């Protein structure tokens, strides 16, 4: 099952495309990171996936074919929006109970109570008076008490200090591990993605540039160092994503065409970090690393021709 399947998905605000031609399938059971610079369309993609926004073109489904925003999808997908919007004038305990009233049978009040107690969050304090980290934890608590199958978090770490980030990510990882919840979270901070994500999507300028398993991506990419004059020889077995050439030496971030690809004579291969990989792609908007057959198969399965 895929938690998100998007086929030629696009969203235009007036004359500007926030997201365009986005074809994507995120498999279930992953902690997927949605990365990209500000304005790349991360929030738009998430809003489309949770049904807050309707697409201008294409379609998006969640949890194996449920239309985004349908009653079925809403009851199984939990979303924490950017800047954690909550009713700030309500005390924490009332905020949580209001959320419970908006969620019906799946709601797990005991779980919410346990989490709030474990986090030492003062229940009678108004949400607006809590620290940024505590507000984020309240929002996460509400999302988790819905016992979602798919948890979508939009820039959850942005307002948090390093310690709060650590705690927040630990909570998310714990849930993903315990309940088997699939997670999609967006961030423009690369370092924290690397720690927790096992699936990566890079959006740039409204298009999907990279999508795939982190392990596969890291394994299929390398940095090759060799003579600046001999870069032509690399192209036979590798796709060059980004080239950095000096007078004598060149550093190429490349993608292997086949697992058997070996660097040519005179070239040295180094493993690549996720951060290097992402930065290389972001510097070369024309380059892309997409798992070809999967999204196409997904769109065929949902009846959309591409």
Partner 1 sequence: MGWAVWRQHRTALAWLGALLLAFGTAVLVAGIAVRGLYATEIRHGCLGSSAWSATCRPLQNRVLFGWPQRYMYEVMLLVRTVPVVIGVFLGAPLLAREYTAGTVRFAWTQGIGRTRWAAATLGLLGAAAAAVACLLALLTQWSVQPVAVQTPRFTNRWHPEFFDSTALTAATAALLAFAIGVLAGALIRRVVPAMAVTAACAITVADLTYNRVHYWLLGQGLRLTRDQALGASPNVGIPLSGPIYIHEPAGPSNPGPTGAWLDEGWYTNASGHRLSNDAVIKLLDKHAGTGPAWLSRLHDTFWVTYQPGGRYWIFQVLLGGGTVLAALLLGAVTLAVIRYRRA
The residues binding partner 1 (CB under 8 A) are 47, 50-54, 71, 74-75, 77-79, 81-83, 85-90, 94, 97-99, 101-104, 106-107, 146
Shortest gap between Cβ of 299 and partner 1 (angstroms)?
24
Closer to partner 1 by CB, 62 or 116: give it: 62
Which tokens go with 78? 């939990």
Shortest gap between Cβ of 9 and partner 1 (angstroms)?
14
Angle at Cα 89 formed by Cα 167 and Cα 149, nearest 5°?
Answer: 45
Closer to partner 1 by CB, 94 or 284: give it: 94
Q: How many CB atoms lie under 10 A from the CB of residue 1?
A: 12
Shortest gap between Cβ of 214 and partner 1 (angstroms)?
27
Closer to partner 1 by CB, 104 or 292: give it: 104
Please report the sign of the dihedral spanned by the C-alpha atoms of residue 91, residue 95, residue 101, residue 106.
negative
Shortest gap between Cβ of 248 and partner 1 (angstroms)?
54
Closer to partner 1 by CB, 65 or 91: give it: 91
Closer to partner 1 by CB, 4 or 78: give it: 78
Shortest gap between Cβ of 128 and partner 1 (angstroms)?
10
Closer to partner 1 by CB, 107 or 281: give it: 107
Shortest gap between Cβ of 188 and partner 1 (angstroms)?
19
Closer to partner 1 by CB, 78 or 241: give it: 78
> Dihedral angle at the C-alpha atoms of 256, 281, 166, 63, nearest 10 degrees?
-80
**Residue 142: which of 106, 102, 96, 183 has the closest Cα?**
96
Shortest gap between Cβ of 80 and partner 1 (angstroms)?
9
Closer to partner 1 by CB, 107 or 168: give it: 107
Shortest gap between Cβ of 192 and partner 1 (angstroms)?
22
Distance of alpha carbon 51 from alpha carbon 39, whole angstroms: 20
Q: How many CB atoms lie under 10 A from the CB of residue 144?
A: 22
Which tokens go with 263? 């660097």
């Amino acid at each position: 099952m895929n938690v998100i399947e998007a086929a030629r998905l696009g969203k235009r605000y007036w004359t500007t495309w926030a997201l365009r031609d986005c074809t994507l399938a995120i498999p279930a059971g992953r902690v997927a990171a949605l990365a990209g610079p500000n304005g790349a369309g991360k929030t738009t993609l998430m809003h489309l996936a949770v049904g807050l926004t309707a697409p201008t073109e294409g379609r998006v489904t969640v949890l194996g074919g449920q239309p985004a925003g349908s009653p079925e999808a809403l009851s199984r997908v939990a979303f924490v929006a950017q800047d954690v919007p909550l009713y700030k004038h309500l005390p924490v305990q009332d905020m949580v109970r209001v959320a419970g009233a908006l969620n019906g049978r799946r709601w797990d009040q005991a779980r919410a109570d346990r989490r709030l107690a474990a986090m030492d969050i003062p229940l009678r304090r108004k949400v607006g008076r809590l620290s940024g980290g505590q507000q984020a934890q309240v929002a996460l608590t509400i999302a988790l008490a819905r016992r979602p199958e798919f948890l979508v978090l939009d820039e959850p770490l942005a307002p948090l200090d390093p310690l709060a980030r650590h705690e927040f990510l630990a909570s998310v990882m714990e849930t993903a591990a315990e309940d088997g919840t699939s997670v999609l979270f967006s961030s423009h901070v690369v370092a924290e993605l690397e720690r927790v994500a096992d699936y990566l999507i890079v959006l740039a300028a409204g298009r999907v540039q990279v999508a795939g398993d982190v392990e596969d991506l890291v394994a299929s990419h390398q940095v090759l160092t060799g003579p600046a004059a001999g870069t032509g020889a690399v192209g036979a077995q590798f796709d060059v994503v980004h080239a950095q050439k000096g007078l004598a030496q060149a550093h190429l971030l490349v993608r292997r065409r086949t697992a058997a690809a070996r660097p040519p004579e005179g070239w040295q291969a180094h493993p690549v970090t996720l951060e290097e990989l992402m930065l290389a792609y972001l510097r070369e908007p024309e380059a892309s690393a997409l798992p070809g057959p999967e999204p196409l198969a997904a769109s065929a399965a949902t009846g959309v021709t591409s």
